[in-house]
Each structure stands twice: as C-alpha cells, then as structure tokens.
Amino acid sequence: MTEAVTHVSHGQSLVLAAGRPCPRQDSNLRTRLRRAALYPLSYGGSGPRQGTRIGGCGCAGRATVAGVVGRVPRVLVVDDEAVIRQLLVINFELEGFDVHQAADGLAALDKAREVDPDVVTLDVMMPGLDGWATAQRLRADPATWRARIVFISARTRPADVERGLSFGAAAYLTKPFDPEEVVATVRRLAGTDEGPADPAADTDR
C-alpha cells in the first residue's frame, strides 16, 4: 500500500503521495468546539479561561475514530508550547484517541518507548533536542520506528518541508494550522493498515 504524505499550509492541503483517506465522523458538537473555541489557539491566541473544561464532555453515543479502525489509536503530542499542546490534546481527545504528550524531544523519546504511539505530532523548534533529531531517533529505534510522524511547525519554507519528509515523516503541517486538518491527517494515518517502511531494510540494499 502506498503511504500518503501530505503538506498542509494555512488550511490548504497538498497531497504529495496517494493514500487511502479515513472517513470523517465528526459530531456537530466537536465541530463547534474546534471552530469556535479552539481554532484561535493555533494562531497564538489566548487559551481557555482558568477553570473552564472544554474536552471530556462524555457525550453518549458520539462517533470516534475507534469506530473506524476498530481500536483506540495512541497519539503522542510533542510541542514545547503548552497552549499548542493543549489545543491538540483536546481535539484528539474529542476524537476518541488515547492521547499522551511531551514538552521536548528527549521527553518524547522516553514517552514513545513507554506508550508505543501510532502517530507522533512533532514540533521542529524545541529546546534541547529539536524535531529533526527527535524524528531521526524515533525512526532509528526498533521500539518506535513504526510510529507515523507528523511535523507541525512554523517553519514553512519548501526546504523545511522536504527536510521533514526526508526524516521519514508521513506529513508536514505548518502553523498556523486548522485543528480539523490536523485531526483529519492523524485519523488517516492511524487508520492505515500498512506501517511505514522499515528503515533497517535500506541497509541491505
């Protein structure tokens, strides 16, 4: 199966390689939350007021990604900005994912070995270990190489996109981003049956 690679910039998608989309099953509630309450956060706006809980509504019978792929996929959100992490975590939780998070690259490597995520959303510019090096280590580690990597970065130059994809990323999204685009990308990657190519296989060629 050909793995889809997507570049999304300012709400517009460019499919770089063909793939199989995963059907969307968003409820009206989740759509309203994303657009009205959460979307401004992706532009650096203010977060929810202290004490306000947006996620975890516990609505009975809402459709989730688990109904599409037959289990609950795990997503690891990696970003040094707490507001961006909160935005992504809430959106993924509304979708029904099992969500984990890390604030930097080194913490992401430890968390990835611990939870074995299906998809990792990864910022590029982080203190300590940046996103490029984190992606390289994720792909080189036998315990984590199967995770799909989605870069979400303010670095928007074509050279940056190419560099991200060269590290084995399945998608490269740019900030500011539309949370619905991010969720759609992760849904598709989590619902694809075939994993990424084994990096160790290249050594035999």
Residue 162 banded pLDDT, cuts 50, 70, 90: very high
Instruction: For residue 71, name the pLDDT band (cuts at 50, 70, 90).
Output: confident
Predicted local confidence at residue 183, as pLDDT = 95
CA–CA–CA angle 57, 43, 158 (5° rounding): 120
d(CA 28, CA 89): 19
CATH number for the domain formed by residue range(s) 5-48+63-197: 3.40.50.2300
Domain ranges, ordered by start, for the chain: 5-48+63-197
Q: How confident is the model at residue 191 (pLDDT cuts 50, 70, 90)?
A: confident
The answer, yes or no, to whether residue 59 has pLDDT greater than 90, is no
- The region that residue 87 occupies, defined by phi over 0 for left and psi between -120 and 50 for alpha, beta otherwise, is alpha
Q: How far is CA 199 from the centre of its chain?
A: 21
Residue 124 pLDDT > 50, yes or no? yes
pTM of the shown model? 0.67
Summarize the confidence of residues 161-174 as an average pLDDT.
95
CB neighbour list of residue 52: distance below 8 Å, 6 or more residues apart: none
pLDDT band at 196 (very low <50, low <70, confident <90, very high): low
Task: Answer for the pair 65, 73: CB distance below 8 angstroms, yes or no.
Answer: yes
